[in-house]
Structure 1
Amino acid sequence: MSHFELPKTEHLKLRLEGAVLHLSLDRPEVRNAMSFAMVEELIAVFDALEDAAESDAPVRAVVLRGAGGHFCAGGDVKDMAKVRMTSPEEPGGPDDPLVAGNRLFGTMLSVVEAAPQAVIAVVEGAAMGGGFGLACVADVTLARADAKFRLPETSLGIPPAQIAPFIVRRIGLTQARRLAVTGGRLDGDQAKAIGLVHESYASAEALETGLAQTLADLRRCAPGAVAVTKDLMISALSENLEVLLDRGARDFARAIRGPEGVEGTMAFVEKREPKWARTDA
């Protein structure tokens, strides 16, 4: 086991409470619009969390939310405008900095989705563009009923290039197409109805109660088993089924013979909580 350290961040607030990392996007003056710097910080934090699962103080869950009453208003338009002022020989070619800048958003969504920890998105206020994407890659997404989800890119003359695949994977092709061609606008209840979010709450108090219950539910699940299960489920989108089932059988055998499998089955037989579920653990 090893110790891990979270990176220093300027645009994110990080607060570690036991095994839960509370991560807040922290640019409230622009409704937490994501600058390139913020995106790089998010990638750095989730890269560090890959090691945190195996550390001597493991992080088991990440609560992702925005400061100042809004989740995230998408990408920072001013950042994009600065890069657009450059004049590459071939727009969209390998030397175009907008290509690398846009691709960075896809990398961020991929590392958040693939985190070995459970990721819970708590959505209040605006969730647009990249914020919409973050809501799609969380394992559990909770929202206020009056949250405002929007996919505005096509109304701005651009495609939601890095977000689109994750939206399709979350809510299916037909709903994703409808949102893309209409500049999709949804509140929290509508987002729940199409499967974008899992629960919608009428008040801030109810939202916090729902978050507490979700964290309590997660505490009962073994962290190693959660990490392996997430990887298998995400791999199901791209891997050959027979190859994936073979890998799943190997993962199962290692798990049931490992410390979590032994503890979990013993706890069941002895009619007690497993060690990872205890609040004093």
Structure 2
Amino acid sequence: MSDFAPKYDTLLLRRERSRLYVTLNRPEVKNALNPTLIGELRSVFEVLRDRRDIKVMILRGAGGTFCAGADLKNMEQSFNEPPKPGEKDPIAVNNRQFGTFLELVNTAPQVVVAAVEGYAIAGGFGLLCVSDVAICTEDAGFAMSETAIGIVPAQIAPFVAARIGVPQTRHLALTAARFKGPEAYRLGIAHYLVKDSAALDAKLEEVLKQVDRCAPFANAATKAVVMKVGTEPLSSVLDFAADKFAEARRSPEAAEGLRAFAEKRPPRWAVE
């Protein structure tokens, strides 16, 4: 992992073949988001953007909690000075940077798998909603809690709406409703619902074995196509999809995949 930092203050990284396990590591505050954690996680995703030897990234939290949202102590102490005349409010600038970070996660070429137990609240809930696959325990707790403390879920709301639709997002955001794993599964926030941490680990391994079967470039290209749906005219999306299909078809991956199919064996990427 030469492109990653040798050590992080708020993250734990572990590489296993084409899998990268990333653990949010501030258990004393339920892995609350602060500038250091967001910055370190952003740097990891910036490295991943150009890596094809890693095809899945597993995101979870230390201490039995995924992420309890922003570190409110840090928020309360920041940006006390009003903006200068003619300058954009630094609070808005900082908030928009979190949206840029979520965009980076959302568009990562890797499969991003979130393994959720404990809590996924506010910004942590937004982080969950930009994963490709989410597994949660029955007793995990969720909420868009921002409005209950007088602030706005500004940067996470568009990603939540893309995940579960505008009507459900309005309900969650405008009531700050708290709910558990079964409701997260019903809403489509989580793709898998499991009983406890042991079952979470077992389901995670099952999902990772499924991802192992998929070619890295084909997955990245497919994700890029899907991400354009609803944001561009259909004809433009289909043009882009055709170009990605041609790029994949002419790649070594497709040659290997077709050869492996003919020879009735797993392709190389499935066993590496």
With normalisation by structure 1, the TM-score equals 0.93
Residue segments in structure 2 that go unaligned for 5+ positions in a row: none
In 2, Cα distance between the equivalents of 1:101 and 1:241?
34
Deviation at 1:4, TM superposition (A): 5.2
Q: Which amino acid aligns with 2:29?
A: V
Moved more, 104-113 or 224-233: 104-113
Task: Please give the per-residue CA displacement for 1:151-202, whole angstroms capped at 9, x wherever unaligned.
Answer: 1101111110000000000001111111011102121111000100001111
Match for residue 35 of structure 1? 34
**Cα RMSD between the aligned structures?**
1.4
Check the 8 A contact 1:4/1:51 in 2, yes or no: no
- Match of residue 122, structure 2, among 129, 143, 158: 129
- Match of residue 269, structure 1, among 246, 251, 262: 262
Q: Say if 2:182 is the partner of 1:189.
A: yes
Summarize the alignment of residues 234-273 of structure 1 with structure 2, pairs less than 5 Å apart: 234-273=227-266
With normalisation by structure 2, the TM-score equals 0.96
- Match of residue 155, structure 2, among 130, 151, 162: 162
Q: Which amino acid aligns with 1:153?
A: E
Check the 8 A contact 1:43/1:107 in 2, yes or no: no
Match for residue 66 of structure 1? 61
Q: Say if 2:87 is the partner of 1:77.
A: no
Residue segments in structure 1 that go unaligned for 5+ positions in a row: none
SS in 1 for 2:15: strand
Task: Please give the per-residue CA displacement for 1:234-253, whole angstroms capped at 9, x wherever unaligned.
Answer: 11131221111111111111
In 2, Cα distance between the equivalents of 1:59 and 1:251?
20
In 1, Cα distance between the equivalents of 2:189 and 2:179?
10
Q: Which amino acid aligns with 2:139?
A: D
Match for residue 172 of structure 1? 165
Check the 8 A contact 1:144/1:204 in 2, yes or no: yes
In 2, Cα distance between the equivalents of 1:246 and 1:69?
44
Check the 8 A contact 1:152/1:183 in 2, yes or no: yes
Check the 8 A contact 1:39/1:104 in 2, yes or no: no
Match for residue 51 of structure 1? 50
Identity, in percent, stands at 45
Q: Say if 2:8 is the partner of 1:19.
A: no
In 2, Cα distance between the equivalents of 1:237 and 1:108?
21
Deviation at 1:89, TM superposition (A): 3.2
Q: Which amino acid aligns with 1:75?
A: A
Moved more, 159-168 or 97-106: 97-106
- Match of residue 102, structure 2, among 106, 109, 127: 109
Moved more, 219-228 or 99-108: 99-108
Q: Which amino acid aligns with 2:162?
A: R
In 1, Cα distance between the equivalents of 2:247 and 2:33?
40
